[in-house]
Structure 1
Amino acid sequence: MIDHNKYLAGRYLEGGRVWPFVDCYGLVLEVRRDLGLPDWPEWADIRAGDGSMVEVAGKWFPTLTPCEPEEGALIALYQGSEMRHVGVVVRCGASLEAMEITQKQRTICLPLHRLKRRFVRVEYYK
């Protein structure tokens, strides 16, 4: 189990990979490290706004294993046919929730069903 209080210090920085200055994928990497899960590529040069995230996802996601929600799983979030955001599954007491960070808000946790309402498609990978 991770210490959720640590993540309250997160500050959004596009392309950020060094805690506490991270973007949405940087948050996924930080949580996975804290859970002791295998390292994933840093992809420090990807940006949501320039299409590079979509390109990387198209090449890298097929190497990942689709899964049901589980602690540490990456959450791929789609608007239309393109992935636009990622989050990570974390355990909050007895339930699993989504943790995310965006430019407009600091790190938050919310029930998976609430996150799903904001996107056309949601996929989980480990």
Structure 2
Amino acid sequence: MFNPDKYLTVKWQMGGRVFPILDCYGLVHEVRKDLGLDEWPDFNGVVSDDGGMNREAQLFRNRVAETGPCEGAVAACFNHQLVVHLAIVINIGGQLMVMESQKGTNVTIMEIQRFERRYRNQVRYFK
């Protein structure tokens, strides 16, 4: 069973891919592993500051399917056509929520609607 409390110890760091030091994609990768889902590439060294996350996301997008929010779906946040942030949908007590890792706040969990409003409804989900 998935335990979201594990992630309360996470510290955000750009490029973090090894628990408990995780950036947004590091968190996605770790949660997918804990949910027993197929692993996505770890994109070690890829960060958003240099446009690398967007470049790799666009290349990888051909290997995943767009979906609605569902457990394990990756929430990709866009600014126009650029991927600027990633998060993951989790199930807590039968309610779908979004978990993200960001500088200054580390890991937060929120309702999908709140997450989508934060990113001005420019969120698409992939599985």
Tell me the TM-score range normalised by the shorter chain. over 0.9
Report percent identity of matched pairs.
36
**Aligned pairs (5 A) from 1:1-126:** 1-120=1-120, 121-126=122-127
- Tell me, what secondary structure is at the counterpart of 1:90? strand
- Tell me, what secondary structure is at the counterpart of 1:8? helix
- Tell me, what secondary structure is at the counterpart of 2:42? coil
User: Taking structure 2 as the reference length, what is the TM-score of the superposition?
Assistant: 0.95
Distance 1:30 1:72 in 2: 11
Distance 2:55 2:19 in 1: 25
User: Taking structure 1 as the reference length, what is the TM-score of the superposition?
Assistant: 0.95
Distance 1:15 1:9 in 2: 17
Structure 1 runs not aligned, ≥5 long: none
Distance 2:76 2:27 in 1: 13
- Tell me, what secondary structure is at the counterpart of 2:84? strand
Q: Deviations over 1:35-55 (max 9, x none)?
A: 111111000111111011111
Which of structure 1's runs of 4+ aligned residues deviate more than 4 A? none
Equivalenced residues, count? 126
1:124 alignment partner AA? Y
Structure 2 runs not aligned, ≥5 long: none
Distance 2:5 2:47 in 1: 27
Q: Deviations over 1:25-81 (max 9, x none)?
A: 000011000011111100011111101111111111121011111111110011233
Distance 2:38 2:80 in 1: 30
- State the superposition RMSD in angstroms: 1.0
